[in-house]
């Protein structure tokens, strides 16, 4: 096998899947390098069809594993049925200069198997945010630049949603949404009547509520709302790189997938000012191999992408590839997911839900949208859940009394509706937040250990208090009772939306990537995962990464054709 | 030093493998080197009887997984070393309690056992480890039942592919 390709994509996750799909479809012989093992759709979902009672610990994670892996143990999604997709803290150490729970999935498909599939578009309120509010740098793109790519991604991925007509949350190419409950409708109405500018909509999600021809061609079928998505869906009812983009790229005949390939660095050629390839360490044999290509896409997941670039040192770039201004790894940010609110709704006692759905309600950002109205910058979106489940008998006493209390009656809808919301707050990228490489310590593959320092600031604290006040007010107006608020005080990272560090911008002096995601100072290297994000917004970011990746890949192909890179 | 403290001290003072002399019989409770509990057949049988006394499943037991193996798995895998030791100490105290009450577990009627247990729980100075043991066996027996195929399908109507979703049904 030749070691030369038209393109190399580093990282086979959510964004890398889109890079390879676009590059391969447009005829480029593409090498996809993934540090983890291959995970094949259906074949490698060992728990997908297990019943709850077939799990040895009924879903609970063993104590020893939790003790040894404190960061992932704090992640809500890390459970007995999908633990095998999570990177263990113990296996891939990193240095927390400040507490940071780094949640990773090292395998072909990346975290696209574990994700919660929430897919909201960004709007110009997000892309214009830094310029308007005077933080970070101005995004070099606007909504109109990305809108066609959002559409392209949405059609292929399959997004269930309603056209809500909100400027803060642009509509897309939607499959039918599921209807939400009467309590959702009630809350929606309360917002409409009493809180102008606030809305509750169906949270758009990457599920095939009504598969189209393009989805059937991918071999995917209708989502049947099993809601066991995190184990891998044998039906392909939700989008993942495993079930969708990577097999699609494979079908073109242009893809070479190499799992177990840890990309150590990108190799720079000072003669033409371009990257010439990558250096890979075979994860098992530790053999070092070099691959060359005309164009390189870095999609290793924000923090790993930063680390690969930092580790790509040369005489020309002593502080890392493209790091001519010393900003590589700085201005990293995340989402503030600390605030939760719960309540009960005593109304609608004669109503309940039958079956399950894979999403819930969503309250788009309403703070500081049209003007600055609070003493903190930006704002937050929120989930809105309302559910009611059948409750069995309260276990009472011992012996026959206990047995009869459990088996004497069938579970019924007796309790009230349970209401919950969780804040999804924007954080402001700061120079003091960073990802660096340690000068001394290395991992098992000889790569310098990654050091992470990200923290909340006063803006985040004020936002949390505002969320509690606003949601308490809205909940009270809706007649909800027993309202309790909770600041989880969780460290950064558990939002699993790390962004920035290789930010886009107009000016090469203050940013690393241009409007096409090319490194300003090494034009055949593209960064199209979370690392490219200039600011964080409030919406779940992966849809935007995918749209950015597709757009940049298309640009790269055109540029290659014109010999411009 | 009361009996509870005495038993506890034995547990704490011992190394990786300790032997507790039971009162209900002369069997021992043993710890493995990794701190996990290893019960011999007699103790496993005894634990089964306790579980059955707390939550009788006779008649449906073949439709429900074995509570003893579930309890042991959960105690050993999902508890801290301290909790495992607490469970063991509590087990010893339970045996003493039954002995004091002159209840031979083999003969004892479930209702007698529960009366003794409830009286012990209501004591002015409740025994922490005993309570831990009793509530662990009770809770895990309940969990074994309510997460069983029998309960999930017959009572919870669980289906891997759920019935079609309806957001607002009348109940
Ligand atoms: C529980 C959970 C819930 C989530 N919910 C949502 C949600 O609802 N909506 C949303 O938008 N996002 C969500 N996310 C986040 C989402 O999964 C990520 O934003 C997305 O996967 C990022 O895509 P990526 O391509 O940048 O990284 P990944 O998908 O992580 O892929 C990166 C890949 O690069 C590989 N790699 C890393 N380093 C190297 C190297 N040196 N050499 C070779 N390969 C390398 C990794 O092994 C990995 O396969 C969630 C994540 C989790 C875990």
String of DSSP letters for A35-93: SS----TTTT-TTTT--GGGSTTTTPPPHHHHHH-HHHHTSTT--TTTGGGSPPTTTS-
A9: pLDDT strictly greater than 90: yes
Interface test with B, best of A53, A59, A188, A347 (most B CBs within 10 A): A53
**What whole-number distance in Å separates Cα of residue A428 and Cα of residue A335?**
9
Angle at A500 between CA A494 and CA A505, to 5 degrees: 155
Phi-psi region of A58 (alpha: psi -120 to 50; beta: other; left: phi over 0): left
Q: How confident is the model at residue B9 (pLDDT cuts 50, 70, 90)?
A: very low
Report the SS3 class of residue A107. Answer: coil
Q: Is the ipTM of this complex over 0.85?
A: yes
B147 touches chain A (CB under 8 A): yes
CA of A530 from ligand 1 middle (Å) equals 9
> In degrees, to the nearest 5, what angle opens at C-alpha A266 toward C-alphas A260 and A272?
145
Give yes or no for residue B7 having a pLDDT over 50. no
Candidates A560, A521, A564, A541; CA nearest to A15 is A541
Choose between A365 and B105: higher pLDDT.
A365
pLDDT of residue B32: 82
Could you list the beta-strand ranges (E) of A260-337.
261-269, 274-282, 288-298, 330-333, 335-336
Is A399's CB within 8 Å of B114's CB?
yes
- C-beta of A15 in contact with ligand 1 (< 6 A): yes
Within a 10 A sphere around the Cβ of A406, how many other Cβ atoms?
Answer: 20
- CB B130 within 8 Å of CB B97: yes
Q: How far is the CA of A301 from the centre of ligand 1 (A)?
A: 5
Ligand 1: centre distance to CA A556 (Å): 23
Which residues span the domain enclosing B125?
A: 26-154
Residue B5 has pLDDT above 80, yes or no: no
Query: Measuring CA to CA, how many Å separate A395 from each of A83, A408, B56, B126, B143?
Result: 31, 11, 13, 21, 11
Q: How far apart are CA A538 and CA A75, in angstroms?
A: 20
Q: What six digits make up the tokens of B148? A: 């069983």
Query: Is A532:A503 a contact under the CB 8 Å cutoff?
Result: yes
B105, pLDDT greater than 80:
no
The number of distinct structural domains making up chain B is 1
Question: How much is the pLDDT for B118?
Answer: 80
Instruction: Name the more confident of A125 and B127.
Output: A125
Question: Does pLDDT of A202 surpass 70?
Answer: yes
pTM of the model: 0.94
Q: Any idea what DSSP says for residue A411?
A: -
Residue B19 lies in a domain: no
Alpha-carbon gap: B1 to the closest alpha carbon of chain A (Å) = 31
Confidence bin at A230 (pLDDT 50/70/90): very high
User: What six digits make up the tokens of B126?
Assistant: 């409740």
pLDDT of residue A518: 98
- Answer whether A237's CB lies under 8 Å from A222's CB: yes
Report yes or no on B165 lying in a domain.
no
- Check CB contact under 8 Å for A395 and B65: no
Q: Which of B55, B116, B131, B158 to mutate to test the interface with A (most CBs of A within 10 A)?
A: B55
**What does the pLDDT look like over A24-42, one tens digit per residue?**
999 999 999 999 999 999 9
Give me the residues paired with residue A436 across strands: A451
pLDDT number for residue B107: 61
Q: Which residue has the tokens 């920035």?
A: A500
- pLDDT tens profile A130-186: 999 999 999 999 999 999 999 999 999 999 999 999 999 999 999 999 999 999 999
3-state SS assignment for residue A15: helix
Contact A77 CB / ligand 1 (< 6 Å): yes
Whether the CB of A402 is below 8 Å from some CB of chain B: the reply is yes
Q: Do B155 and A58 touch (CB under 8 A)?
A: no
Instruction: Please choose, from the candidates A136, A110, A181, A519, the residue with its C-alpha nearest in 3D space to the C-alpha of residue A345.
Output: A181
C-alpha–C-alpha distance, residues B6 and A527, integer Å: 66
Asked if A268 contacts A314 with a C-beta cutoff of 8 angstroms, the reply is yes
Residue B18 resides in a domain:
no
Among the listed residues B69, B57, B94, B74, the one whose alpha carbon sits nearest the alpha carbon of residue B139: B74
Higher pLDDT, B34 or A288: A288
Q: Is the pLDDT of residue B6 over 60?
A: no
Counting one residue from chain A and one from chain B, the pairs whose CB atoms sit within 8 A come to 126
Position B20 confidence tier, pLDDT thresholds 50, 70, 90: very low
Give the closest of A49, A226, A352 to B171, CB-based: A352
- The beta-strand segments (E) located in A388-521 are 417-426, 434-442, 448-453, 481-487, 499-501, 518-519
Model confidence band, residue B104 (pLDDT cutoffs 50, 70, 90) = low
Find the range with the poorest average confidence among A285-299, A356-370, A537-551, B28-42. B28-42
| A500: Cβ contacts below 8 Å, ≥ 6 apart | A302, A331, A332, A333, A429, A530, A531, A533, A534, A535, A536
pLDDT at B4: 39
Which residue, judged by its Cα, is nearest atom 50 of ligand 1?
Answer: A115
Is residue B95 domain-resident?
yes
User: A383 and A360 in contact (C-beta within 8 Å)?
Assistant: yes
| Protein residue with least CA distance to atom 27, ligand 1 | A301
Beta strands in A283-323 (DSSP E): 288-298
Q: Which of B55, B79, B161 sits opposite A403 (nearest CB)?
A: B55
Q: Which two three-digit tokens encode residue B25? A: 């019989």
> What confidence tier does A406 reach under pLDDT thresholds 50, 70, 90?
very high
Predicted confidence at residue B106, as pLDDT, reads 58
B3 belongs to a structural domain? no
Neighbours of A337 (CB within 10 A): 20
Q: Does A153 touch chain B (CB under 8 A)?
A: no
For residue A368, pLDDT beyond 90: yes
CA of A112 to the centre of ligand 1 (A): 6
B 72-91 residues inside an 8 A Cβ radius of A: 73-74, 77-80
Q: Answer yes or no: is the C-beta of A94 below 6 A from any ligand 1 atom.
A: no
Report how far ligand 1's centroid is from the alpha carbon of A232 (Å).
Answer: 15
Q: Is the pLDDT of residue B25 over 80?
A: no
Best residue of B76, B137, B167 to probe chain A, by most A CBs closer than 10 Å: B167
Considering only CA atoms, which of A227, A108, A111, A222 is closest in space to residue A158? A222
> Which residue blocks in A195-320 are alpha helix, DSSP H?
213-217, 245-251, 302-311
pLDDT for residue A360 is more than 70: yes
Which of B53, B155, B158 is facing A399, going by the closest CB pair? B53
Cβ of A180 within 8 Å of Cβ of B169? The answer is no
pLDDT at position A142: 98
Q: Is the dihedral of CA B68, B73, B74, B76 positive or negative?
A: positive
Minimum Cα–Cα distance from B69: chain A residue: A56
Do B146 and A225 make contact, defined as CB atoms within 8 angstroms? no
Does residue B58 sit within a domain?
A: yes
Distance CA A156, CA A169 (A): 20
Pocket probe mutation, ligand 1, options A9, A11, A291, max atoms within 8 Å of Cβ: A11
B28 pLDDT more than 70: no
Mean pLDDT, rounded, of chain A: 97
Q: Is residue B163 part of a domain?
A: no
What pLDDT does residue B103 have? Answer: 67
Mean pLDDT value across residues A230-240? 97
CA distance A524 to A270: 13
A472 touches A483 (CB < 8 A): yes
Measured in angstroms, how far is the CA atom of residue A105 from the centroid of ligand 1?
A: 7
pLDDT of residue B130: 93
Summarize the confidence of residues A305-330 as an average pLDDT.
Answer: 98
Asked whether residue B117 is assigned to any structural domain, the reply reads: yes
The 8-class DSSP code of residue A101 comes to: -
């Amino acid at each position: 096998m030749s070691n030369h390709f038209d393109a190399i994509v580093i990282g086979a996750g959510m964004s890398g899947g889109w890079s390879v799909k676009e590059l391969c479809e447009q005829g480029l012989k593409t090498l996809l390098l993934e540090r983890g093992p291959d995970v094949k759709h259906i074949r490698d979902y060992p728990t997908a069809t297990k019943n709850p009672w077939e799990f040895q610990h009924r879903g609970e994670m063993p104590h020893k594993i939790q003790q040894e892996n404190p960061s992932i143990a704090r992640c809500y999604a890390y459970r007995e049925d999908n633990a095998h997709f999570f990177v263990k803290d113990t296996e891939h150490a990193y240095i927390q200069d400040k507490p940071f729970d780094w949640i990773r999935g090292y395998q072909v498909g990346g975290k696209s198997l574990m994700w919660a599939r929430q897919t909201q578009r960004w709007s110009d309120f997000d892309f214009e945010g830094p310029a308007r509010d005077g933080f970070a740098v101005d995004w070099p793109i606007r909504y109109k630049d990305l809108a066609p790519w959002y559409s392209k991604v949405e059609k292929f991925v399959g997004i269930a949603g309603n056209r809500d007509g909100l400027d803060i949350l642009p509509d897309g190419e939607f499959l039918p949404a599921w209807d939400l409950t009467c309590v959702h409708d009630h809350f929606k109405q309360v917002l409409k009547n009493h809180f102008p500018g606030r809305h509750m909509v169906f949270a758009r999600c990457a599920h095939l509520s009504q598969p189209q021809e393009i989805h059937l061609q991918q071999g995917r079928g209708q989502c049947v709302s099993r809601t066991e998505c995190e184990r891998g869906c044998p039906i392909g009812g939700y989008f993942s790189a495993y079930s969708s983009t990577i097999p699609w790229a494979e079908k073109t005949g242009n893809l070479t997938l190499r799992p177990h390939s840890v990309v150590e660095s990108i190799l720079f050629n000072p003669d033409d000012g371009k990257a010439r390839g990558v250096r890979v360490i075979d994860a098992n044999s530790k053999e070092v191999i070099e691959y060359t290509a005309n164009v390189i896409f870095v999609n290793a997941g924000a923090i790993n992408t930063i680390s690969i670039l930092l580790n790509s040192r040369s005489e020309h770039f002593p502080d890392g590839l493209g790091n001519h201004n010393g900003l590589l790894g700085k201005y990293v940010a995340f989402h503030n997911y600390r605030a939760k609110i719960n309540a009960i709704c005593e109304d609608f006692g004669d109503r309940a839900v039958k079956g399950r759905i894979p999403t819930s309600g969503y309250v788009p950002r309403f703070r500081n949208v049209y003007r600055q109205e609070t003493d903190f910058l930006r704002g937050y979106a929120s989930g809105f859940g309302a559910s009611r489940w059948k409750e069995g008998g309260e276990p009472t006493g011992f012996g026959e009394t206990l047995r009869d209390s459990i088996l004497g009656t069938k579970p019924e809808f007796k309790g009230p509706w349970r209401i919950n919301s969780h804040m999804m707050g924007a954080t402001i990228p700061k120079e003091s937040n960073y990802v660096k490489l340690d000068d001394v310590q290395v991992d098992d593959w000889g790569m310098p250990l990654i050091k992470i320092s990200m923290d909340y600031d006063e803006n985040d604290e004020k936002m949390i208090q505002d969320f509690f006040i606003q949601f308490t007010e809205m909940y009270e107006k809706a007649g909800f009772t027993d309202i309790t608020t909770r600041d989880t005080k969780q460290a950064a990272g558990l939002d699993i939306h790390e962004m920035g560090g290789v930010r886009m911008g107009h000016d090469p002096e203050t940013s690393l990537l241009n409007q096409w995601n090319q490194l300003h100072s090494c034009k055949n290297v593209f960064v199209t995962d979370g690392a490219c994000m200039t600011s964080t917004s409030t919406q779940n970011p992966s849809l935007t990464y995918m749209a950015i990746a597709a757009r940049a890949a298309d640009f790269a192909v055109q540029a290659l054709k014109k010999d411009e890179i | 030093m009361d009996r509870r403290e005495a038993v506890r001290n034995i547990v704490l003072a011992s190394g990786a493998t300790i032997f507790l002399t039971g009162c209900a019989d002369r069997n021992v409770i043993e710890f493995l080197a990794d701190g996990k509990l290893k019960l011999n057949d007699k103790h496993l049988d005894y634990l089964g009887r306790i579980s059955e006394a707390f939550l009788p499943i006779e008649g449906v037991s073949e439709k429900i997984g074995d509570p003893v193996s579930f309890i042991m798995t959960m105690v050993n895998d999902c508890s801290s070393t301290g909790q495992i030791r607490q469970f063991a100490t509590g087990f010893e105290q339970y045996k003493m309690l039954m002995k004091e009450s002159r209840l031979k577990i083999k003969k004892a009627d479930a209702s007698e056992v529960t009366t003794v247990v409830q009286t012990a729980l209501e004591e002015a100075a409740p025994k922490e480890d005993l309570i831990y043991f009793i509530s662990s066996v009770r809770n895990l027996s309940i969990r074994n039942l309510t997460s069983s195929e029998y309960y999930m399908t017959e009572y919870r109507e669980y289906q891997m592919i759920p019935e079609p979703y309806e957001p607002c049904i009348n109940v």
